[in-house]
Structure 1
Amino acid sequence: MTNKLEALEDWAAVLLGQLEPASRNKLARSVGQALRRSQQQRIIAQQNPDGSKYAPRKHRNLRGKQGRIKLKVKMFQKLRTASFLKVKGDGNAISVAFTGRIARIARVHQFGLKDRAIPEAPYIQYEQRQLLGFSDADIELIKDLLLGYLTLSK
């Protein structure tokens, strides 16, 4: 995957060098927004960038819990919203990342780290679920957006 990203960067650098800074910024914002939509759709589908499904949640015993119990809620429903998944783009770089306190939760799941579910609980080893990452479709999306923008601007 890294080789594909490096090849894309080498290919695009020559073309982007010919653009004005303002049009590069506009292109970076549009590519970043398209990448965010792609990542959101993948999180909705509960898939890693390679197409495999996320590791399922651990089964919890909810017999003693009072009130309404939601059993079929998908993971990361709020994390995928635009208020937590931010896009930053300028003429030099594009980033799609989680912000604030949510970034820590996303990092624990992204890399499969240990964390506490609530402050006094014991540490739990979380399964790795790649929330952000490039798939082959994302790289093709970037290529298509770059080519489309460059053909329209000339």
Structure 2
Amino acid sequence: MLRGGLAFVEAFARPEGVRLVGQALRRSQQQRIIAQQNPNGSKYAPRKQRNLRGKLGRVKRKVKMFRKLRTASFLRVQGDRNAISVGFTGRIARIARVHQYGLKDRAEKGAPSVGYEQRELLGLTEADLDIIRDQLLTHLTP
């Protein structure tokens, strides 16, 4: 359908197109994280039940996972002339990687190592591919 892809777009127009596609992808990933769904449409594995009877103070219940991770300050978009990436950076990337692949980690320093269920925070769906295609076509048409 499109031959040459971004080669037909003038050099000054590329960063704008890359930015728009990246932002659209980030919004899509954020909506999926809010819905607590893996890219294949299945729900995230639920949190492990904890014994909260002995806990003092306020007990928070029904708080969705990854509430802060999905914000734009943590879910970053980076792009250059040839690539777009949406992902996490720094310390947050480690937390996200543990959940993405279902690895073992410590909840805090000195705590025992615990295995986490796999919850795919990032991934492309058919809808994401449609978003990419639509954004590129919109940007390429005069």
Question: Which category describes the TM-score, using the shorter chain as reference length?
Answer: over 0.9
- The worse-fitting range, judged by mean Cα deviation, of 23-32 and 13-22 is 13-22
Per-residue deviation, 1:13? 6.3
2:20 to 30, 35, 46: 30
User: For 2:3 and 2:69, how far apart are their aligned partners in 1?
Assistant: 32
Per-residue deviation, 1:99? 1.2
Scaled by the length of structure 2, the TM-score of the pair is 0.96
User: For 1:13 and 1:84, how far apart are their aligned partners in 2?
Assistant: 35
Identity of aligned residues (%): 68
| Structure 1 residues 24-64: Cα deviation after superposition (integer angstroms, max 9, x where no partner) | 11100000000000000000000000100000000000111
5 Å-filtered alignment, 1:81-120, equals 81-120=71-110
1:128 — aligned with what?
118
User: For 2:140 and 2:8, how far apart are their aligned partners in 1?
Assistant: 10
| Structure 1 residues 87-136: Cα deviation after superposition (integer angstroms, max 9, x where no partner) | 01121110101011000000000000000111121111100000000000
2:47 — aligned with what?
57
Q: Which runs of 5+ in 1 are unaligned?
A: 1-10
Q: How many residues align?
A: 142
2:137 to 140, 144, 147: 147
Q: Which runs of 4+ in 1 moved over 6 A?
A: none
Question: What do you get for the CA RMSD once the two structures are aligned?
Answer: 1.1
Equivalent residue letter for 1:119 = K
User: For 1:36 and 1:138, how far apart are their aligned partners in 2?
Assistant: 10
Greater fraction of residues in helix: 1
Counterpart check, 1:137 vs 2:137? no
User: For 1:149 and 1:37, how far apart are their aligned partners in 2?
Assistant: 18
Q: Which runs of 5+ in 2 are unaligned?
A: none
